[in-house]
Structure 1
């Protein structure tokens, strides 16, 4: 489905549509939900239209730059650069009516210019047993409408201001989950940034302050939360520097508070902080089997400070509330070796857990995660099918422990849904997942994807975790096998700027899960999206 989300993603659309047509996040993301940005011909320099020139970090439609996809519509939209329209021939510029909104010069010499973007998205979701039957609803029908428009003002080469506004509507029957503020959203500022940039010390440097989507993190830990009407945004700043073969990103954010229901009422959630540094090194390129190859070595530290429901840990009888600090130190090796796509990520998570109301002593955190993908793309075939194997491990702990180290890996900031489970019934905690991923473009503008992950608990002494939820099954749950979630996606770019996507998934529970109370479920999501 519309992968909204960050994925560090690739470009099936390169083969699916002409160069003068825009791609959508759904198209680009869907094929690389699992293996972001690995199917590009690397290295290259600014071969992506309407993108800043990040050199080798333009790999994967700009995903390697840390700003998400930048192919046509970007993730986020302020990551686009439409200044190339200034030198485009009139005939090419007129090929798309919306080009007149993408580059509007406000001065005679064009040093001050404006770009306007917009999105209308209608989404329908059906679930017969949401959250494995624990959501309190059956046969849930949700209808979501997102109206989102932005304006990007460039003042010379060094200053840029961007503002984006969102209005979200949600309805349906037997629905659930609308109380969080991320589905029903009155008119509000979704993103608002001021950027100062320039060239210094041989690098392209910049500082971005304000409310913004942030994507420079592993997909298994965080995403833009595009399944909901309101994407996940952050209030704070980031500073970046991009050299020829090395880049770094410094950031310190507080999560945007979406709970207020009034117009322009969103504030800052001071109980959810994220900060750190992300670096990426482009290793020297090489050739394998006659194909250019590029490997990136990323090293990062990402710190979390949060409390409330996401910070709770499991106990033998339920959960224990508190606050926690999570220090994530990790590395990722990824890229393409000839026709093969590789990605290996390892994260150690330290920190501490502080029980609420002095309910116990502060406990250390000792958790980890390992994620790997290995794939092969048959570029010589017309449909360019891709065959991958994805394997993941997110550590678990023990709900019997009252004073030992907490071993459950924490992912409070919405891991990328298409990475493992689009239904959100499971998340990246106490989880082992293995499964094949197959994608193909049988005809232009049509993407097919199949992902069949099989899941186990990493620790049988820990609970089963869903997105924002710790399931109550404890002693009545036997064995580590959870079940399987086969899921398929069909995305059709039937006209410029339009994408129609269908996501079909099902949860098949293990015998142990069924005996504990979990229920099999069916999931269907249909999305019609218009972007310019």
Structure 2
């Protein structure tokens, strides 16, 4: 009921685009677009001297009263994306190779009532064409309310939110917006945020919203729920680091799913995650390392799982094209023995579904990967990157999984570890500050595990997209 009231309020506000978030106000001019439109703060346009003459600026700061303390921000994002996937699941899947279109528009409205109350809403209109055999909620959501929440700013350091919202927690490895596919992941949730950009703590409880094909039929899940406590600290501000930017995140996530499915079986899952993350940059280096430990129960088994994710990057600022080298490792545990009374398969909860690249073939379950990459800045507005990803099974007694945790190949029929090699090239172009076009190519030759468990054709993937936002 509370969520429906918030949705109605946002609809009355005009429902069309966005503003800021739980962070402190940022004086810099935001760039329109992206999954977290509520992070944009356009209050700087209160001063006419900050306007640059863009046609869409008139929608970013619309005074509602004479004092201009109450104002409305409107906006939209339109995306068209085409994907072609050849030999899905290395030819094992019944679906033939083929292409399909995703279309998406995200009109948003953000009403600020003084300094303490805010109402934010966002529609999603996301039809598809050519999806074979039938589109799912990931492909097609004809029209629905994506976000509708109220925010009360009790002070500069205390914020309370309630309603429907998309969010990206930390690195997004466990909770992501799912921005790459056609429909985003929303949650019906309540949140309390304390802190600022140097140190913060937030506590939230929510249920994921299940996107359904059709119109105005999305609802929160009856099977799944989660809760989180997340703390972040600026280590330079704390005197624990002297140069660059260093941040330490420590958090806990609880999760329950009464309809969980693994290679081991089906049952109720009650899983706890404790994690720590160290990330930042210094000079030409950047890094992002995260360790997860999971425990709890699945059906009659104990959960004992873990994952380690690491990333190093270095940019050669003085060389032509500013090449950037990166190296990633991911270790994601899998079940060691399906009959030992333990489930060791790591659960990534709500990750981005294009986790290992734009093809989105594999999901982060029971894998170890080595992922070197290189990127070149061809101009201020054009960037090209390439990578090679080598993927092994962590445990030979567990299978490999696709989007949403769907089992692609059972681990019961092979002791081989090597799954596949993925080669990927990405071209990113920015035509204007708020219009970009991207192209993707990937191929995944089968490894020994795939060859021993069924069809083993090479997967090919091609994607192109255009995104315009204001």
Deviation at 1:271, TM superposition (A): 1.1
In structure 2, relative to structure 1, the CA distance for the partners of 1:227 and 1:96 (3 Å cut) is same
Deviation at 1:52, TM superposition (A): 6.9
Distance 1:437 1:95 in 2: 39
Distance 2:332 2:197 in 1: 34
In structure 2, relative to structure 1, the CA distance for the partners of 1:52 and 1:473 (3 Å cut) is closer
In structure 2, relative to structure 1, the CA distance for the partners of 1:217 and 1:295 (3 Å cut) is closer
Is structure 2 residue 42 aligned with structure 1 residue 82? yes
Deviation at 1:210, TM superposition (A): 0.5
Matching residue of 1:312: 261
Which residues of 2 match residues 29-108 of structure 1 at below 5 A? 54=23, 71-89=31-49, 93-108=51-66
Distance 2:200 2:447 in 1: 45
Matched-pair contact (CA < 8 Å) for 2:89–2:408: no
In structure 2, relative to structure 1, the CA distance for the partners of 1:88 and 1:217 (3 Å cut) is same
In structure 2, relative to structure 1, the CA distance for the partners of 1:241 and 1:404 (3 Å cut) is same
Runs (5+) with no aligned partner, structure 1:
1-49, 63-69, 355-361
Matched-pair contact (CA < 8 Å) for 2:22–2:159: no
Distance 2:399 2:21 in 1: 45
In structure 2, relative to structure 1, the CA distance for the partners of 1:152 and 1:279 (3 Å cut) is same
Deviation at 1:408, TM superposition (A): 0.6
Matching residue of 1:502: 439
Matched-pair contact (CA < 8 Å) for 1:421–1:427: no
In structure 2, relative to structure 1, the CA distance for the partners of 1:52 and 1:343 (3 Å cut) is same
Runs (5+) with no aligned partner, structure 2:
1-18
Deviation at 1:345, TM superposition (A): 0.6
Render the CA deviation track for 1:242-286: whole Å, top value 9, x for unaligned.
24621111111101122263x322221121212111111001269
Distance 2:190 2:201 in 1: 14
Is structure 2 residue 231 aligned with structure 1 residue 279? yes
Which residues of 2 match residues 118-197 of structure 1 at below 5 A? 118-172=76-130, 175-176=132-133, 178=135, 180-197=136-153
Which residues of 2 match residues 133-532 of structure 1 at below 5 A? 133-172=91-130, 175-176=132-133, 178=135, 180-199=136-155, 204-243=157-196, 245-259=198-212, 261=214, 263-284=215-236, 292-308=243-259, 311-315=260-264, 320-354=265-299, 362-381=300-319, 383-398=321-336, 400-415=337-352, 417=354, 419-468=355-404, 469-517=406-454, 518-532=456-470
Matched-pair contact (CA < 8 Å) for 1:51–1:71: no
Q: How many correspondences in the alignment? A: 448
Distance 2:411 2:279 in 1: 38
Distance 2:447 2:112 in 1: 55
- Provide the secondary structure at the position in 2 that maps to 1:224: coil
Matched-pair contact (CA < 8 Å) for 1:483–1:510: yes
In structure 2, relative to structure 1, the CA distance for the partners of 1:53 and 1:219 (3 Å cut) is closer
Render the CA deviation track for 1:6-46: whole Å, top value 9, x for unaligned.
xxxxxxxxxxxxxxxxxxxxxxxxxxxxxxxxxxxxxxxxx
Distance 2:92 2:403 in 1: 13
In structure 2, relative to structure 1, the CA distance for the partners of 1:74 and 1:465 (3 Å cut) is closer
In structure 2, relative to structure 1, the CA distance for the partners of 1:52 and 1:471 (3 Å cut) is closer
The structure richer in strand per residue is 2
Distance 2:211 2:255 in 1: 19
TM-score by length of 2: 0.89
Deviation at 1:198, TM superposition (A): 3.3
Render the CA deviation track for 1:159-197: whole Å, top value 9, x for unaligned.
000111111111116x2461x323221221111010001
Deviation at 1:405, TM superposition (A): 1.3
TM-score by length of 1: 0.79
Deviation at 1:385, TM superposition (A): 2.4
- CA RMSD in angstroms, aligned pairs only: 2.5
Distance 1:130 1:470 in 2: 13
